[in-house]
Copies of this chain bind each other. A is one copy, B any other.
Amino acid sequence: MSYNTFGHLFRVTTWGESHGPAIGCVIDGCPPLIPLTEQDIQPFLNRRRPGQSIFTTQRQEMDQVRILSGVFEGKTTGTPISLMIENTDQRSRDYAEIATAYRPGHADITYDMKYGIRDYRGGGRSSARETACRVAAGAVARKILGTDVQIRGALVQLGSYAIDRTRWDWDNVHHNAFFAPDAHIVTEWENYLLAIRKAGSSVGAVIEIHAEGVPAGLGAPIYGKLDADLAAALMGINAVKGVEIGDGFETATLTGPENADALSMENGKINFHSNHAGGVLGGISTGQPIVVRFAVKPTSSMLIPVASVTREGKEIEVTTKGRHDPCVGIRAVPVGEAMVACVLVDHLLRHRGQMGHM
């Protein structure tokens, strides 16, 4: 069962609300003797951290992570790793209005429908703040995967503005506020998103994650397929509405010969001529790069009013005065990377459990 836990052998349980005293996670099943300090985790949290540009929420959280257990003298011990991040910049008064009114498109209403109670401050448990824990867990996952596996993400579409893939350069990702791999699109995106922000609106985005160096053989068909677990992991990120692998929805339009990744031998090894499959066949990794994309809807917290209702059944117009991301998809880039890292480690451990090698 996995309400607030993901993974099977590499398991991550997250807890905490946006405006509680802290958020955190417990990582179970981590192999022992992995060197690990807070400095291995913090840089990834910093990438996701809000308040770093005018294109993300202005909430100021340092997101300082603290390791409370599972590490001894700088190495993992194989026991649970408890990570905690204190919440420091809570302005709960911003949420007085949504205590009773539902933001259309937000989880406010469904938490109430399900639980009959919710911590409405900052979205409570449904806040994107929870994704900091995913990023922290992803940093630990990367340590286990080692440097042979490289997991990188980029924003490939913002609103209707997609990048030019021929200009893809991973170095660019680190030099703009959007994680854009196409340097030429940055100005266009800046102007567009400033206008969105000024209008008190928000917009969606598409993120693409590449994982290179992943060994062949990961994935457990039929119901533990690597791509199925990736799909769940990415669809489970806040505001995600679509996930695809390799050519994704485009494969619907392809014929068999167009879609087949032909094979040949090269220096005694099997060589794939293309990667329409996105690195997974039959639910098992091929050794090629794993390529996944996911779509993030526009933030439902906006200054533009939308017709809604209150808990008590009164009709109102809702605006959200709190500090929010005009495009929450931007900060989803490091979150998507982290989820891919966690899924890969989990499958690595599961694979070697059944197979007895690697």
Contacts and interface: CB of A to CB of B under 8 A. Distances in A.
Interface residues of A, number: 154
A300 B206 CA distance: 28
A241 B251 contact: yes
A159 interface: yes
Given A15-B26, A107-B282, A248-B295, 7 more contacts: A3-B223, A14-B223, A22-B68, A31-B355, A252-B329, A257-B302, A352-B353
Nearest to A121: B72
A68 B352 contact: no
A213 interface: no
A353 B224 CA distance: 15
Interface in A172-208: 196, 201-206
B15 A5 contact: no
Interface string A272-293: 0100111011111111000000
Interface in A41-97: 68-70, 72, 75-82
A251 to B, nearest CB: 4
Given A68-B22, A159-B252, A256-B203, A117 B3 contact: no
29 contacts: A3-B80, A3-B354, A4-B222, A5-B13, A5-B223, A9-B354, A14-B222, A16-B80, A17-B79, A31-B355, A31-B356, A32-B355, A33-B117, A104-B260, A104-B263, A110-B219, A114-B218, A114-B355, A204-B254, A205-B252, A222-B236, A225-B236, A238-B282, A251-B296, A251-B297, A257-B302, A257-B306, A260-B306, A349-B354
A104 B262 contact: yes
A24 interface: yes
B117 A252 contact: no
Interface in A10-32: 11, 13-17, 20-24, 26, 28-32
A111 B196 CA distance: 48
Contact of A300 (B118, B231, B256, B270): B256
A73 B278 CA distance: 32
A77 B5 contact: no
A325 to B, nearest CB: 11
A39 interface: no
A149 interface: no
Contacts of A235: 225, 227-228, 230-232, 243, 245
A351 interface: yes
A263 to B, nearest CB: 5
Interface string A298-340: 1110101011110001110000000000000100000000000
